[in-house]
Amino acid sequence: MDSGALLFKRPAVRVGHERQETTTARGIVLAMEAMNCRAAGISSRDLAGGIDLLRELDASSEGMRWLSMNIVGREDSEPLFAPFITQRVGETTIAILGLTNDKISLHSNDYTIKPWQDALADVVKKAEKQSDMVILLSSYPDAINEQIARKAAGLDLIFSSGHRPVNQIPKVINNTLLAKTSDRGKYLGVLRINWTGTGIWGQDFMIRVRAEQNRLDRVNWQMGRMEKRIDPDKLKEEKRYQKLLISKEEITAQIHSLKEEKTNKLTNEPSSFNNQFIALKSSVPQNKQVQKIVDQTTQTVNELNRKKVRSSPKKQSALNSMAGWKKCAECHQDQTAFWQNTSHAKAFKTLEKVNQQFNEECLVCHVTLPWYEPKRVRAEKLLHQLPEKLNNVGCESCHGPSMAHSNDPENTLPAQPTEATCTGCHNSEHDDNLVFSEKVERIRCPDSDI
Ligand code: HEC
Ligand code: HEC
Ligand code: HEC
Ligand code: HEC
């Protein structure tokens, strides 16, 4: 299952990118289905393509349901998505519930989101009747999820999405386990649960017993000190001692009832868990079926962008500060000959080979740009205006824009690259093993004689 914030990078689709972003969203759903995802919560980043798109995806999916108990019609108050589903896993029936943050905008007057206080209790009651374990997928921020855990009875787990900080170590609040994994597929959260059907989390139960035992130890110690100092006959009249005696009885009863609760409710032990975050780095092997879906989706996006590039007019831009490698070659033959033998010179061809040469997400690092800030590059639409001579990781990717130097070499010198020049592209997501001192030797241009 996934707690949501799956389909879009932002709460609203960028103008002019609607087809590209919804194509990607459809691809993500197919990939999630191939990975056997049965249920997803709904957050603002799943609704960016409009509620109708999400309803269509929900209706056309075979195995995966989008869940929300509180997105409802404004008129009839009827939920638009299933509030919950049940899944049989071995001997256990699990109910998975969806709850959407009511502070997000639906961009529509026909629907509205009820606050959790108005929706949760009834749905949990229904779900509890049909299941052994109740899991809530929530798109509320942490503070509200904690409030929900404190106030709502019957929830065993809350998985949340779309809010920082990410990769949260699970914690137990009021016998509800809260957990969260990083967003946008950077990590996989694995929770191994030993479910004993008691509705009590081991850690929580143990903490309660231990806390009571600590209190008892303190009381015993205080009583012991008084017993040493005061005559046994007078001791009974001491108010403080009597108070301690009462505390002792209360605590002992409390521990007894906790243990009783344990033996009555538990066939053997409280449920326990352990968790793990798996970083999905480029070195993690790909699943073939999922890879195929990802490839097909990115191909479609590439075709959409190919058409867009053809129809968009060219403008003057920051690219004018760039001379392109052919200009440099006029005066720097040795360095050019060397560079042509590195894969930087073929970086754009590499994208052509995998049919991704129009994909903006890829282009930023496989071409020559005046700077490597994806936001700024997109804002100035630089990727759609690149002349052929910049379709590679060229001289100016490392030495900076050098049109001025090319025109007046004696008076303006280009930059010499540092490690920071490389890490703009060789970041951890695309290059797991950048050791600068080693890699720079493989691409360092030879000395010149001019
Ligand atoms: C008209 C000839 C000419 C062109 C065109 C030219 N350069 Fe140069 N370049 C020179 C000369 C001459 C020097 C040596 C200047 C000096 O050391 O005073 C030089 C020096 C350099 C240096 C060394 C800087 C240093 O700090 O030692 C780099 C790097 C460089 N050029 C890169 C480029 C790049 C990249 C381009 C293309 C965008 C380019 N050059 C285009 C003539 C040229
Ligand atoms: C504009 C982005 C970009 C910058 C800046 C960049 N690289 Fe690269 N680098 C790439 C890409 C993309 C490839 C893979 C090209 C391919 O295989 O098509 C690559 C490949 C390499 C390779 C393999 C080369 C080979 O021929 O085997 C080395 C080594 C390397 N880069 C080192 C560096 C170093 C060191 C720096 C900084 C001085 C640097 N790169 C700066 C994007 C960049
Ligand atoms: C943040 C920069 C960056 C982005 C974005 C990027 N790449 Fe690369 N790519 C690199 C670097 C750096 C290398 C070289 C890695 C190395 O030397 O180990 C590389 C290498 C490659 C290679 C050749 C090596 C290999 O793994 O087979 C291919 C193919 C490739 N990239 C495709 C893509 C595609 C397709 C996209 C878009 C989905 C993309 N890249 C987006 C930086 C990037
Ligand atoms: C991947 C990064 C990278 C690319 C791409 C690159 N260079 Fe370099 N270049 C370097 C590094 C690193 C040095 C060595 C700098 C130093 O010694 O501090 C260097 C040095 C130079 C020098 C100075 C040599 C000297 O005499 O000291 C020149 C000139 C030069 N490069 C020109 C070019 C030209 C022309 C191109 C394109 C055809 C190019 N470079 C592409 C990284 C790059």
Q: What is the pLDDT of residues 7-34, one digit of tens each?
A: 998 888 877 788 899 999 999 999 999 9
**Nearest-atom index, ligand 2, CA of 424:** 5
Domain residues for 210? 204-265
Question: Are 56 and 77 in a shared domain?
Answer: yes
> Taking Cα atoms as reference points, which of 173, 105, 92 lies closest to residue 133?
92
Is the domain of 238 the same as that of 93? no
Q: Distance (Å, rounded) from C-alpha 372 to C-alpha 375?
A: 9
**DSSP-derived secondary structure for 338-379:** HHHTSGGGGHHHHHHHTT-TT-HHHHHHHS--S---HHHHHH
Ligand 4 centre to CA of 441 (Å) is 11
Assess whether 187 and 91 both reside in one domain. Answer: yes
Residue 181's closest CA among 94, 279, 95? Answer: 279
Q: Note whether residue 61 is domain-resident.
A: yes
How many domains does the chain fold into?
Answer: 3
Please list every protein residue whose CB sits less than 6 Å from any atom of ligand 2: 342-344, 346-347, 350, 365-366, 393, 397-398, 417, 421-422, 424-426, 439-440, 442-443
pLDDT tier, 428 (very low <50, low <70, confident <90, very high otherwise) = confident
Q: With 80 as the cut, is the pLDDT of residue 167 above it?
A: yes
Average pLDDT over residues 376-387: 86
Give the pLDDT confidence score for residue 203 in this predicted structure: 55
Query: 202 pLDDT exceeds 90?
Result: no
> Do 39 and 172 belong together in one domain?
yes
When mean pLDDT is compared across 233-247, 253-267, 283-297, the lowest value belongs to: 253-267
- Give the distance (Å) from ligand 2 centre to CA of residue 362: 14
Highest mean pLDDT among 90-104, 179-193, 232-246, 270-284: 90-104
Q: 391 near 324, Cβ under 8 Å?
A: no
Least trusted range by pLDDT, from 47-51, 104-108, 246-250: 104-108
- Beta-bridged to residue 111, according to DSSP, are 73
Same domain, yes or no: 40 and 184: yes
pLDDT in the model for residue 385? 82
Instruction: Please report, for the domain that includes residue 42, its CATH number.
Output: 3.60.21.10
The answer to whether residue 335 is domain-embedded is: yes
Average pLDDT, the chain: 89
Q: Same domain for 22 and 158?
A: yes
The per-residue pLDDT for range 54-94, each reduced to its tens digit, is 999 999 988 899 999 999 999 999 999 999 999 998 889 99
- More confident position, 146 or 270: 146
Q: Which CATH number belongs to the domain containing residue 337 in this structure?
A: 1.10.1130.10
Q: Is residue 439 part of a domain?
A: yes
Number of neighbouring beta carbons within 10 Å of residue 336: 18
Residue 429 has pLDDT above 90, yes or no: no
SS3 82: strand
What are the Cα distances from residue 319, in Å, to 195, 336, 383, 390?
60, 21, 10, 9
Quick one: 164 and 30 in the same domain? yes
The DSSP letter of residue 411 is T
The whole-model pTM stands at 0.61
Q: Are residues 331 and 436 in the same domain?
A: yes
Rg, C-alpha atoms of the chain: 31
Residues 328, 413, single domain; the answer is: yes
Residue whose pair of structure tokens reads 């030993």 in the numeric block: 194
In this structure, the answer to whether residues 225 and 184 fall within a common structural domain is no
